[in-house]
A and B are shown apart, each in its own frame.
Chain A
Amino acid sequence: MGMNYITIEGRSRGYKILVSLLGAMVGLFITSFLVAYLKGQQVWGVSNIIPWGQLITFYIYFIGLSAGAIIISSLSYVFKREVYEPIGRLAVFMGILLMVGAMIFVMVDLGRPEKAWRLFMYFYLNNMSSLFAINSIFYTGYIALMLIYLWLIFEGKKRLAGVVGTADVLWAIAVHMGTGAIFGLIGNREIFFSPIKPFEFLMAALTSGTSLIILVAIATFKLTNRVISEELIFSLSRLLTHMILILLVMVFVDKLTHLYFPNREAIVYLFTGDYWWIFWVLQIGMGIGFPLFLLIFPKTKKSLKAVILAALSVVIGVFGERAALVLPGTSHPQPFFPGKIEGPWGEPGIFPITFWESLLSLSIISFVVLLFVLGLRYLEILPGGRGESLLGTRELSVQQRDS
């Protein structure tokens, strides 16, 4: 215990270039948002058949990453596992930023974002039976709790931080399960409709959050010439293995339930339709199969590079999992009437990747990364020790230049 944290100096050339690049991307965010706001959502790929597209996919993805990060931070602050201490602050900070990103994503996806305040007029102007309205309670409380949590950590009030952290972890679970329920409770979309969806969302959140923390921790520690202990990474990767296994069971049970009974048209569309590759290649291949192989196979599970590769694969694969829910879930035509519906109403929808929507997504991600990079500069996020307090067996990089 007693680890000290410092800010990074941010005087290096690379840091300045990174910040200005990200700043330019944020300028593009304003442009791409205004284009969609003034011209309407016709500039995006969404349609009346696939009303939710890229932005909603990123929104649930970011909420998952945030919830995963907060749950990982609890290992350090709630369960007091010392090995996780170097990444404790990082995880909480990432949780806040990713949630901010998710909120931007969902706000810009609204047709009339200037009316979003209606969501927060609880019981008065909003409809509390809507999961969006219920989730708006979850989200505001979540952001508030995370801010208090981080503040208590900065103040060094570890006991209180543990209490708030516990509440925050429970709240994060509720947040992400609530987000899963947005989809899971929609009874007319067979791919969405599932009681296990909130739990599946939670497990996907944990896997993607853990993987992102592995990647971000290694990247930031490496770029700022800090030392990260392999023990920390490998203990996270062991956790990741178990989470992926649980996720696999949940996905299997969910799909089996839909596949078993003869009304399996929608799920067969998911498996073999236009978006089969999102499901099989991204969700199952990159999100579950490939990383599971890397993390279980005895030769690769002890290799740091393989763990990084597995984490990267999970981060991409869980994005695919979100996309495999949002896009095929609505693009499968609804059976309005028994028989084969001819013409446009019976054909599955196609979601084109459009320039402005992709630019908007990219620039929101850049904004979150910019906040992260600036946060490292002005907040005491990273451990400042020269490796002596970091429990390490073998070390990644021994160089200590400007930390």
Chain B
Amino acid sequence: MPRWGMVIDLDKCVGCQACVIACKVENNVPHGSPEEQRLRREIYWHKMIAVTKGNFPHIRTEIIPMPCMQCDHAPCVTVCPAKATFRREDGIIMQYYRRCIGCKYCIVACPYGARSFNFKSQEIKPYHRHDEPLERKAWDPWPFPTRTHGVVEKCTFCFHRIDQGLKEGKKIGVEVVPACVEACPSNSRTFGDLDDPQSPISKLLSSRSSFRLREELATRPKVFYLSK
């Protein structure tokens, strides 16, 4: 069984935020109003943070793209009382809306702020995704776009692309990648199987020094960063 992971090369990242937009488009993540943004109620599956170091005039700003870290030891899975958040065999942490009772414990326990709550019913936009099966039943465990208010949602590493690609026998990480990886104009992202020593992601990780966010919490994220 593969263990999907992602590498983000901060040296190549230009901070264009195409990954954020691509994620919103691919996964039908609702756009928030400026008011919601101010109140911190906008839903992000993939966010960008700007980190400054130093003081003017010797200052540097780094743009850090932050998808869900898909931790191997995910605190959100531990604290979810309803088994709505679970770890798939391939390591992807999934959120099953139909089970979610909306207790928001996972938002409290997530060290990366990767989870968002639906504070209102989102309007259903005209939206078509060719890779999505037509049968409602076949969406399981994916009741979207019928997400309701009162449930928590998060990044899925575009599991639907991976599953579809595996079914069609395509090479994951080369031919099929998550939307944010596909949209990156500077090729700063690599996706693939961390357990396969021959995969491009493993080769990249073994060739350069990498780090993960908040490693002291021992959540073992599967999103690696290559420093500048």
Contact = CB atoms under 8 A, between A and B. Distances in A.
Chief secondary structure at chain B's binding surface = loop
Contacts of A126: 81-83
A110 B50 contact: no
Interface string B193-228: 000000000000000000001100100000000000
B185 interface: no
B173 to A, nearest CB: 25
Contact of B149 (A40, A127, A189, A345): A40
A112 B148 contact: yes
A12 interface: no
B64 interface: yes
Contacts of A111: 100-104, 117-118, 149-152
B101 A340 contact: no
A389 B24 CA distance: 73
Chief secondary structure at chain A's binding surface = loop
B120 interface: yes
Interface stretch (B105-113, B138-146, B158-166): B105-113
A17 interface: no
Given A111-B118, A118-B101, A52 B108 contact: yes
A109 B103 CA distance: 7
Interface in A157-192: 182, 186-189, 192
Nearest to B60: A339
B129 interface: no
A79 to B, nearest CB: 36
A42 interface: yes
A188 B109 contact: yes
B99 interface: yes
Interface residues of B, number: 53
Given A47-B39, A340-B53, A129 B78 contact: yes
A297 interface: no
B149 A187 contact: no
Contacts of B40: 47-49, 344, 349
Contacts of B80: 127, 130
Nearest to B113: A334
A187 B74 CA distance: 12
Interface in B66-110: 66, 75, 77-83, 99-105, 107-110
Interface residues of A, number: 49
A305 interface: no
A217 to B, nearest CB: 35
A337 interface: yes
A335 interface: yes
A41 B119 contact: yes
A373 interface: no
B82 A40 contact: no
Contacts of B105: 130, 132, 182
A277 to B, nearest CB: 22
A209 to B, nearest CB: 25
Given A41-B119, A42-B119, A111-B102, A133 B108 contact: no
13 contacts: A39-B120, A48-B42, A48-B117, A115-B100, A116-B101, A118-B82, A125-B82, A126-B83, A132-B105, A187-B111, A339-B52, A344-B40, A346-B49
Interface of A: 39-42, 46-49, 51-52, 109-113, 115-116, 118-119, 125-127, 129-133, 136, 182, 186-189, 192, 330, 334-346, 349
Interface of B: 37-42, 47, 49-53, 61-62, 64, 66, 75, 77-83, 99-105, 107-113, 115-121, 148-152, 213-214, 217
* Nearest 7 A/B pairs, CB to CB: A111-B102, A111-B150, A40-B149, A188-B111, A132-B81, A51-B104, A40-B120
